[in-house]
Amino acid sequence: MAVSASSSVQRARQNLADRLGEIQRDAGLTGRELAAACGWYPSKVSRLLNAHTPPSEDDIREWCRACGAEEHAGDLIASLRAVEGMFIEWRRMERAGLKAAQEARLPLYERTHRFRSYSSWLIPGLIQTPGYTTAALQAIQQRRELVDDVQAAVAARMERQHVLYEGDRRFAFLVEESVLRCGIGGSGVMRDQLHHLTTVGSLPNVSMGVVPMRPDRLRWPAEGFWIFDNAQVNVELVSGYLTITQPGEIKLYAETFSDLAELAVYGAAARELITSATALLG
């Protein structure tokens, strides 16, 4: 399992380790006795109990067998799979291609009613043009040496944008001003994309904010993230895709979004920044 710096992931790993420890204690086994029953070195038991090493599914089955608690193996394996799903390396998520990765997120978007998105790198996917998405996904496909299904992936992302126009959904987008000025795909692609931002920003269910570049801001840029209702946060990191479901950490991201939203400008002021960025394209 990939290791993330997120305390959500580490806490979930430790919770699983604590449950294994409870089963061991209920069985009245010492660490050495458990290791002997499983055919392991005692150090392995210690690493699993301290969450220094994640267990495999076979480790959990063997642990439960040695403790006479086979009935708990299924639930513990389900917990393990949930932890593994919290942080997914890009190469694992995209091994079946970019199209599959795009389609996998659609159910989450369709069941969400309140979206909050902050981006310090790129225009958020829900408000990208086909040209911008093509340039972004082509760069990813080439950099990570993935199967070339870019056009199918672009179509899948465009299809996902139907959530903007259907149902009782609300969207709040925040982008750093640098995102408007440091684009991809060339001047033509960026010009179309910036024009699209003003169009999307006029939708009644959409708030479009731009955080201006300034030398005295009190809240520095953060990693890009999405908040889905109050149930989940997704963060796109350099190494992988992080899913956060701990209420305390969701609250931290919500507070960060609120702080950044206070720095942003909207309406005519936001359109002025977008127009200024467009003018620089020539």
7's CB contacts (< 8 A; 6+ apart) are 246, 249
The whole-angstrom separation of Cα 255 and Cα 50 is 31
**pLDDT value at residue 97:** 74
Question: How confident is the model over 200-211, as pLDDT tens digits?
Answer: 999 999 999 999
- Domains of the chain, start order: 7-87 (1.10.260.40), 94-279 (3.30.870)
Neighbours of 72 (CB within 10 A): 17
Question: How confident is the model over 70-123, as pLDDT tens digits?
Answer: 999 988 887 787 666 666 655 655 666 788 878 888 898 999 999 999 999 999
**pLDDT value at residue 8:** 62
pLDDT of 126 above 70: yes
Average pLDDT of span 31-37: 95
**pLDDT value at residue 94:** 61
- Kindly report whether the global pTM for this prediction surpasses the value 0.95: no
Are 41 and 64 in contact by the 8 Å Cβ rule? The answer is no
Average pLDDT of span 174-202: 95
